[in-house]
Structure 1
Amino acid sequence: MKITAVRVTPIAIKDPALLNAAGVHEPFGLRSIIEVVGANGLVGLSETYGDAPVLDLLTRTGPSLVGLSAFDVHGMLARVAAHAPKIATGHVEMELAPGSLASNLVTSAYSAFEVAFMDLQARTIGIPLVQLLGGAVRNKVPYSAYLFYKWDASVDPEYAPDPYGEAVNAQQIVKQAHQMIDQYGFESIKLKAGVFDPEKEADAVLALKAVFPNHQLRIDPNSNWSMATSLRIAKKLDGCLEYYEDPTPTLEGMAELHKATGLPLASNMVVTNWAELKRSIELNSVQILLSDHHFWGGLRATQALARTCQTFGLGLSMHSNSHLGISLMAMTHLAASVHHLSYACDTHYPWQSDEILQGGRVPITGGCVHLTDKPGLGVELDQDKLAELHAAYNVCRIRTRNDVVQMQRFRPDWKQIKPRF
């Protein structure tokens, strides 16, 4: 079954002023929506990064896929690689924005097209995409409440109002957790840290533990703590954490921290490719891998990653960037197919108010996204909403995510320091 057209549409979605180790989220997150049209009239969907480097490669590759079989993912990869820039593009890279990283450009573009190809394949056959991945080992996938320190939207008129308001202390973080858990039923809680005094951030975890004693807790400083700080906070949070995510930089640093504390360490920062995974296994740096099909090479590559983790006794969960429902459903079909899913997955979805799907937002109930028996990913594009968010992209000043520059709009002397504390 041949491909007759490929459409790549950049969009801009509203994003709150979420704080992290690099700075603060910009008021718009960038995404790319991919439609792969088959000769049978069916359309495969995908969603990925909207940063300029990825968008450029997607846009240049798309026309070359016309005439290819929707089942020929190897041929698709060859075309992606052929259109990749041969020299540095000069784009600014930000560690917390995978869509800005030149080293992962081909993998990111391939991953995006692979989801669309497989969605079209599954729609053509008339089965849910998870069946192409070997079938579902679970019919629902758990996600975690992903808490952020954040500013209120009133900090700048570019930010749209959001239901969560300011969160710059433990009391406000607990309130944020209540809002998310009451609405979505999450049973795990993750706090994005590396923003304020580590002692205060640890106090927020202790406050969460007091209010939600039966919830699994995690903290993620994005490698923004020194070894001394990481050790000190590990001691303070002894017995509170499900796992300790990326507290300190480098594979060597994480190995030293694990050896000293015995805590299970999770990462999506020091292990982002197969070479780093090999080195991590040798050093025993990371005990839990936070996978992400967007930058690990797609759905089937992430299944292989899961089997590797199982072989070497490593836990597995999923990392998240700001995203909409197509990505959420791709994550869900993938996670539903993986025997070795050890922990609830991350998702930014509660932070996003926009959506491009017919019928609106994907439901999260009991902390889980449930599979359906609909073919493919089980979702359909709302073309009017797609056009609306594409129009927002056209007037948006952002072309590649940069939380450092955004923070400098408020604090001109801000610099990214790693580790800061």
Structure 2
Amino acid sequence: MTKIKSIEYFRVKPRWLFVLIKDESGGYGWGEATLEGHSLAVEGALDEMIVRLLGSEADDIEHIWQTIWRHGFYRGGPVFMSALSGIDIALWDLKARNLKVPVYQLLGGKVRNKVQVYAWIGGDRPKDIEIAAKARISQGLKCIKMNATEGVNWLDSPSVLDSCVERLKAVKSLGLDAGLDFHGRLHKPMAKQLAKALEPIRPLFIEEPLLVEHPEALKLLAGQTTIPIAFGERLYTRWDVKRFLEDSTVDILQPDIAHAGGISETRRIAIMAEAYDVGIAPHCPLGPIAFAASMQIALSTPNFVICEMSLGMHYNVEAGDIDLTSYLVDESVFDIKDGYVMAPTGIGLGIEINDEMVRKIAKDTEPWQPKSFFGPDGAIREW
């Protein structure tokens, strides 16, 4: 048993927030607390948690999780849970490293040897769709995810849905399976129409066809379409998930390990979902630590389906182009073959982070602000 000596966090390009925990015997573990567009808020939550955790037994991961959850009185939500996620992931990495085993061994061992992955291609604009899809094929992918629309009003012309149908057809003609991310941009009258129009083309799933703030509408939609409904990136705990499982609203649950309480809570959500015959497809358009942690869940979860990967997201910064593998000592750990990433064999999360590079980039990384979307009338549209 070793006590926590230090907890640091690093805001790094392009938009990620890494957490590093060290114990008194020199061990270390990396976590990720990225919450897109809200890094300053998460950093504030981490500052509050760090003071309380220094000197705690690093091995007591569940006790630490419960301490942060229950002794703060106010809890839950994306900011609080993202901060907790970063700490939790780092503690699992630290413990597994000290024991010299992969994290998945601490979760009961592997149930598979490789993990199927997909990556986002945007896809709002028809002219870009074929180029982006072919790029993903060249990277070894068999599945992708694309945006359904650029944004639709409460009641819009049905013709605005036509381009979504055509773009999906174009992607499928290349031999790719595709999930469609509605991003909660549609409202009930339009979501019903688009789901019906898409059924003959058979998307892999439709993601966030409506916002999770509308459970009653999601329940109705689930009874109106045969397409698998996926969501969960904006659900942060097992209590958030519970209603949608009981209502048979969701077919594919997408917890984000950097938002949903880390490895500990994501594992609990997956176990709950299995009892309702619901698959798990971790949401992860994030950094390498979140993806590595999602891999550990995928490898040890029977009802795992597929995992998101922020593949090829390059950003022009002074230090060079930053992408998913830039902070890794060994980039080959995330290699894709025939749509799969092989189970890592390394200890902890199975990756080594370039500490020196993280510290260098973190010195001049500004907070990443949310994007803005507006309709033709100037009204705000969903991100």
TM-score (norm 2): 0.84
Which region of structure 1 is more displaced relative to structure 2, 274-283 or 298-307? 274-283
Deviation at 1:272, TM superposition (A): 4.5
Which region of structure 1 is more displaced relative to structure 2, 233-242 or 133-142? 233-242
Specify the code of the residue in structure 2 equivalent to 1:7: I
Moved over 6 A (4+): none
Matched residue, 2:2: 2
Residues 181, 187 of structure 1: 8 Å contact kept? yes
Secondary structure of the structure 2 residue equivalent to 1:392: coil
Specify the code of the residue in structure 1 equivalent to 2:135: Q
Q: Does 1:288 align with 2:252?
A: yes
Report the Cα distance in structure 2 between the residues aligned to 1:337 and 1:369, rounded to whole angstroms. Answer: 14
Matched residue, 2:343: 371
Secondary structure of the structure 1 residue equivalent to 2:135: helix
Residues 96, 347 of structure 2: 8 Å contact kept? yes
Q: Deviations over 1:362-408 (max 9, x none)?
A: 42312222223221112222122112220231xx2x36x4222xx57
Report the Cα distance in structure 2 between the residues aligned to 1:312 and 1:340, rounded to whole angstroms. Answer: 10
Matched residue, 1:178: 134
Deviation at 1:316, TM superposition (A): 1.9
Secondary structure of the structure 1 residue equivalent to 2:258: helix
Report the Cα distance in structure 1 between the residues aligned to 2:42 and 2:23, rounded to whole angstroms. Answer: 23
Which region of structure 1 is more displaced relative to structure 2, 345-354 or 133-142? 345-354
Residues 254, 265 of structure 1: 8 Å contact kept? no
Matched residue, 2:354: 382
Report the Cα distance in structure 2 between the residues aligned to 1:319 and 1:171, rounded to whole angstroms. Answer: 27
Residues 271, 289 of structure 1: 8 Å contact kept? no
Report the Cα distance in structure 2 between the residues aligned to 1:349 and 1:83, rounded to whole angstroms. Answer: 38
Q: Deviations over 1:330-375 (max 9, x none)?
A: 111111010111x221122321434222234742312222223221
Identity %: 23
Specify the code of the residue in structure 2 equivalent to 1:193: A
TM-score (norm 1): 0.77
Deviation at 1:83, TM superposition (A): 8.8
Secondary structure of the structure 1 residue equivalent to 2:253: strand
Pairwise CA RMSD: 2.8
Report the Cα distance in structure 1 between the residues aligned to 2:271 and 2:73, rounded to whole angstroms. Answer: 32
Matched residue, 1:44: 29
Q: Deviations over 1:275-313 (max 9, x none)?
A: 443322343322221122222222132222222212112
Secondary structure of the structure 1 residue equivalent to 2:121: strand
Matched residue, 2:204: 242
Residues 120, 376 of structure 1: 8 Å contact kept? yes
Distance 1:102 1:334, change over 3 A: closer
Deviation at 1:40, TM superposition (A): 2.5
Deviation at 1:49, TM superposition (A): 1.6
Report matched runs for 1:293-308 at 5 Å: 293-308=257-272
Deviation at 1:207, TM superposition (A): 0.8
Secondary structure of the structure 1 residue equivalent to 2:312: helix
Matched residue, 2:154: none
Matched residue, 1:130: 104
Report the Cα distance in structure 1 between the residues aligned to 2:312 and 2:210, rounded to whole angstroms. Answer: 27
Specify the code of the residue in structure 1 equivalent to 2:313: W
Query: How many corresponding residue pairs?
Result: 359
Q: Does 1:56 align with 2:40?
A: no
Q: Does 1:65 align with 2:53?
A: yes
Q: Deviations over 1:13-67 (max 9, x none)?
A: 13xxxxxxxxxxxxxx2x2222211233121111222611211121332244332
Residues 119, 129 of structure 1: 8 Å contact kept? yes
Report the Cα distance in structure 2 between the residues aligned to 1:270 and 1:380, rounded to whole angstroms. Answer: 29
Report the Cα distance in structure 2 between the residues aligned to 1:141 and 1:260, rounded to whole angstroms. Answer: 31
Deviation at 1:130, TM superposition (A): 0.9
Residues 20, 30 of structure 2: 8 Å contact kept? yes
2:83 aligns with one of 97, 109, 122: 109
Residues 61, 79 of structure 1: 8 Å contact kept? no
Q: Deviations over 1:55-101 (max 9, x none)?
A: 11213322443322111124423553589696xxxxxxxxxxxxxx9
Secondary structure of the structure 2 residue equivalent to 1:130: helix
Report the Cα distance in structure 2 between the residues aligned to 1:255 and 1:271, rounded to whole angstroms. Answer: 16
Deviation at 1:221, TM superposition (A): 1.1
Matched residue, 2:157: none
Matched residue, 2:182: 221
Secondary structure of the structure 2 residue equivalent to 1:234: helix
Deviation at 1:135, TM superposition (A): 0.6
Residues 115, 298 of structure 1: 8 Å contact kept? yes
Report matched runs for 1:224-373 at 5 Å: 224-239=185-200, 240-249=202-211, 250-268=214-232, 271-321=235-285, 323-341=286-304, 343-352=305-314, 353-354=322-323, 355-360=326-331, 362-366=333-337, 367-373=339-345
Report the Cα distance in structure 2 between the residues aligned to 1:333 and 1:71, rounded to whole angstroms. Answer: 18
Specify the code of the residue in structure 2 equivalent to 1:130: Y
Distance 1:381 1:243, change over 3 A: closer
Distance 1:199 1:315, change over 3 A: same
Residues 136, 144 of structure 2: 8 Å contact kept? no
Report the Cα distance in structure 1 between the residues aligned to 2:195 and 2:167, rounded to whole angstroms. Answer: 14
Report the Cα distance in structure 1 between the residues aligned to 2:90 and 2:233, rounded to whole angstroms. Answer: 26
Residues 284, 291 of structure 2: 8 Å contact kept? no
Residues 110, 298 of structure 1: 8 Å contact kept? yes
Secondary structure of the structure 1 residue equivalent to 2:353: coil
Distance 1:102 1:344, change over 3 A: closer
Residues 357, 382 of structure 1: 8 Å contact kept? yes
Secondary structure of the structure 2 residue equivalent to 1:254: helix
Matched residue, 1:80: 68
Distance 1:7 1:135, change over 3 A: same
Deviation at 1:329, TM superposition (A): 0.8
Q: Does 1:120 align with 2:94?
A: yes
